[in-house]
Structure 1
Amino acid sequence: MEKFEGLSHLFVTFFLFIYAHFMVVPAITDVTMSALCPGEDECSLAIYLTGFQQAITGLGTLVMMPLIGILSDEYGRKALLTLPMILSIFPPVILGYSRTKTFFYAYYVLKTLTAMVCEGSVHCLALAYVADNTSDSQRGSAFGILSGVGSAAFVCGTLTARFLSTPTTFQAAAFVAVLAAVYMRAFLSESVSDGDASPLLVPKRSPDIIRSSVDSSKKTQLFKRIPSVEDILCLLNSSLTFSQAAIVAFFNSFGEGSIHASLMYYLKARFHFNKDQFSELMLISGVAGTISQLLLMPILTPVIGEEKLLSIGLFVSCTNMFLYSISWSFWVSIIATKLACFFASFNCLTIFCPCFGNSLCVPYVVSVFSVFVVFAPPCLRSIASKQVGPNEQGKAQGCISGICSFANIVSPLAFTPLTALFLSEGAPFHFPGFSIMCIGFVSVRTFTI
């Protein structure tokens, strides 16, 4: 970690932002269900609204991520980080005040609009910042550490939500989001040198335009930087490895987006999960991911390479989806319980104690395999980063983020109706996890690239 000391302020900023973001995740399912379908464990309206929000967010970030990446190459990472970090403050303030149906819809609309700019942008810019300040040989480990910091924030946010009341959770999230923005502005240095950075919307390479009408020049220069389909295709065609990484990113994000839109409602319907159990499940995944990214990845990356770590992460991710899809089955629950007891007998996985002897055990067991799943995203980003020059890191990360956002548009549209159907009483046949199994089959496509 000593060789990455120059990135310490970025790591703190990233930690605080992710901490605030994930603090509210365990509570949002219960809040949504209580506002829309009080007293029920199944609610198709909640599932459809969540899928719609994810699709609209993906549509916005599809445009915004490449644009933000390109602008950050021009004006610096810190300047572009300011907007999403400030916008992310407002949604939790609403639910911190009230969680009635009216306030929930106000939150829903504002969250959808702000997420079109905020979703993924801080991560994208943080990756570009790391790439600016590391060599090719260090980049894979540095990306892994950044992801590990995010996983640690995920753990802390989830653990905080476990012990706070729902109103206090949203209030605390808003406070930490404010703290993250203030810290970033006060302590984070710009990754672009003073001679290269330009004030936002005043391009450094256009002195003639600067001397002309200021207002028209700002609009013209900003418009010219909005990436077109041809720009993205040109970047994808610049390297076979980069285009392959982009395809893998699409299918991996497609699987992740689909599972995020479906899994919590699946667990709510089949196992009656509440905020505390969601927190426990996320806590196990977060701890496993943090250990993996902060300790294992810096050791394994130089030894076996990013490509093999990527393959391991993708394989385990697909396996997890298949296990989740059949976790409702009685015989699978029995096997998972026996496995958890076996590990616990060695005092190495005592965190499984809450699930012993009941059908909740499978989700808890599967969550541990996050120790391998988390290999995939940082390895994928590092491979893509090495295919472009130092002045194109924002563009490259923005392009990959845009492709991931496109996957997040398609995935809920494809699987939200399927999830709602098989969790309802009108399912064609009894297989509550059928949609998740289909997601697993789609994710297998990553191994054929």
Structure 2
Amino acid sequence: MSSPAASTPVRQAALVFIFVTVLIDVLSFGIIIPVLPQLIKQMAGGDTGDAAHWVGLLGTVFAVVQFVFNPIQGALSDRFGRRPVVLISNLGLGLDFVLMALVQTLPWLLLARVISGMTSASFSTANAYIADVTPPDKRAGAFGMIGAAFGIGFVLGPALGGLLGEIDLRLPFWVAAGMALLNFCYGFFVLPESLPKERRTPRIDWRRANPVGAVLLLLQYPQVYALAVVVFLSQLAHYVLNTTFVLYADYRYGWGPQEVGYTLGVVGICNSIVQAVLVAKIVRRYGERKAILAGLCFGAIGFAWQGLATTGLLSLLALPFLALWGCAGPASQVLMTRQVDPHEQGRLQGSLSGLVSFSGIIGPGLYTTIFAWGISTDKGWHLPGAAFLLAAVLLAVAVVVAWRATLNLRGYTPPAAAAGPDHAA
């Protein structure tokens, strides 16, 4: 069900803040990406093998904690409002980055990552905030802007972190802390509450404020549950880029850090253009359903192309397809928010974030194992792109699920199709 939208000036100010919040959060996380493994290696006494073990452990623990706490954060935002959850998240992240800058041992760094997982609520709560203040026919553009913030943050963040890390390994953590704390101060004085008291849940149902309860919430809305499966498959496919692309490009194309960095920068720029400029226009013209199906198809083609490309130049031709895959996420968000009561938007976003975190638990190990299997010398075949082909298969399955799930969903009807009976097809 759609919720009443806020007045235009308030809505615009709130959306600007949410955009800035997500951008700064992604920047702060992106800044530490190039230096965190090096800091871990330093704490491990320079032992690369031991450092690799801790990198994997910290990544898995972070995803597990997010998986457990995201539904709780969503339920808290439904009960007490979005504003306090966003502000506490920003404050917690800022203090946590300070802790990461100061710790001298790996167990303390592990504790800091646990705190990061507990307090990183701003993404799911930001999506709920958008559903509160944006009319249904404008949500695709708003969610696209959030996607653009992710793209910009992941382009600028690692580059800035690499520069700062050359000065001192701990400097990026201090800069990330400053960004998060400035974001807290900005929100404290600027951010209005988006969820009126009369639309908040009267109490927190702790039976549903957990990963299992989150899935049960999705089961109450069969259409949302099916689309949540699409989101999960899409996120699981995305982890092939996070975990395997650098190793794959080095092994198959002989790319070093500079070539990989340029390529990831192009990916981020293309993704930002699609999210900020094209998503809203595509949804207005074709509707959410066609945007989802087309986006997933483009993604499957892009990953298959990436996995089969024999040269680096050929692999670059896959980037536009992967960027257009970005149409599927915002359109899916819009359709799901239309099916859920306004007072449950926070729990919906918490549930979806829990699924994303769950994909982060299984994705890294899955793709690195498949990649190692594909290049193994004791097999009778050689398939270095196997991990990308698996991602393409996952998105192909997502296309089938989305096709069936969206047959009868209530979504935005483009003006050109409003009078005809065939829009849903």
TM-score, normalised to structure 1, is 0.75
Tell me if structure 1 keeps the 8 A contact 2:67–2:211: no
Equivalent of 2:267 in 281, 285, 291: 285
Q: Does 1:122 align with 2:122?
A: yes
Given candidates 68, 79, 84, the residue that maps to 1:74 is 79
Number of residue pairs matched by the alignment = 390
The answer to whether structure 1 residue 18 and structure 2 residue 26 are counterparts is yes
Shift of 1:423: 5.3
2:114 alignment partner in structure 1: 113
Superposed CA deviations along residues 351-387 of structure 1, whole A, max 9, x for unmatched, are xxxxxxxxxxx3x443444431221221111111111
Distance 1:313 1:45 in 2: 40
1:261-280 alignment to 2 at 5 Å?
Answer: 261-270=243-252, 276-280=258-262
Shift of 1:31: 5.9
TM-score (norm 2): 0.78
Task: Give the AA of the match of 1:65.
Answer: N
1:235-266 per-residue CA deviation (whole Å, 9 max, x = no partner) reads 33333321221110121122123442222333
Please give the alpha-carbon distance, in whole angstroms, between the structure 2 residues aligned to 1:321 and 1:47.
Answer: 27
Larger displacement relative to structure 2 (61-70 or 380-389): 61-70
Contact 1:71 / 1:225 at 8 angstroms: preserved in 2?
no
Distance of aligned partners of 1:149 and 1:228 in 2 relative to their CA distance in 1, 3 Å threshold: closer
Alignment of 1:41-190 (within 5 A): 49-89=54-94, 92-93=97-98, 105=106, 109-119=110-120, 121-161=121-161, 163-166=163-166, 167=168, 168-190=171-193
Partner of 2:218: 236
Q: Secondary structure at the match of 1:88?
A: helix
8 Å CA contact 1:314, 1:446 repeated in 2: yes
For residues 111 and 434 of structure 1, do their structure 2 counterparts lie closer, same or farther at Cα, with a shift above 3 Å needed? farther
One-letter code of the match for 1:149?
A: A
Distance 2:20 2:40 in 1: 31
Check conservation: 1:90, 1:174, Cα contact below 8 A: yes
User: Quick one: structure 1 residues 183 and 269, their matched pair in 2 at CA, closer, same or farther if it must change by over 3 Å?
Assistant: farther
Question: Tell me, which stretches of 5 or more residues in structure 2 are unaligned?
Answer: 1-7, 402-425
Q: Which amino acid aligns with 1:15?
A: L
Query: C-alpha distance in 1, partners of 2:113/2:252?
Result: 28
Amino acid of the residue matched to residue 324 of structure 2? F
* Superimposed CA distance per residue, residues 199-235 of structure 1 (whole angstroms, 9 cap, x where no aligned partner): xxxxx847xxxxxxxxxxxxxx6855634735632x3
- Whole-Å separation in 2 of the counterparts to 1:402 and 1:236: 12
Q: Deviations over 1:24-60 (max 9, x none)?
A: 3345566667877979xxx777666555444433332
Report deviation, 1:268: 4.5
Q: What corresponds to 1:375 in structure 2?
A: 327
1:47–1:253 CA distance, 2 compared to 1 (3 A): farther
Letter in 2 for 1:229: V
Report the Cα distance in structure 1 between the residues aligned to 2:291 and 2:108, rounded to whole angstroms. 39
Per the alignment, residue 413 of structure 2 pairs with none
Matches of 1:443 and 1:378 in 2, distance apart?
16
1:262-411 alignment runs, 5 A limit: 262-270=244-252, 276-327=258-309, 329=310, 332-333=311-312, 336=314, 362=315, 364-411=316-363
The change in CA–CA distance for 1:275 and 1:169 in structure 2 (over 3 A counts) is: farther
**AA matched with 2:304:** F
Classify the secondary structure of the residue corresponding to 1:192. coil
User: Which region of structure 1 is more displaced relative to structure 2, 369-378 or 126-135?
Assistant: 369-378
* 2:297 partner letter: F
- 1:375-419 deviation per Cα after TM superposition (whole angstroms, max 9, x unaligned): 122111111111111111101111122222222223234333333
Query: Which of the residues 361, 373, 398 maps onto 1:446?
Result: 398
Distance in 1, Cα, partners of 2:302 & 2:41:
26
Q: Distance in 1 between matches of 2:21 and 2:137?
A: 24
Matches of 2:112 and 2:379 in 1, distance apart? Answer: 32
Give the C-alpha shift of residue 283 in structure 1. 1.6
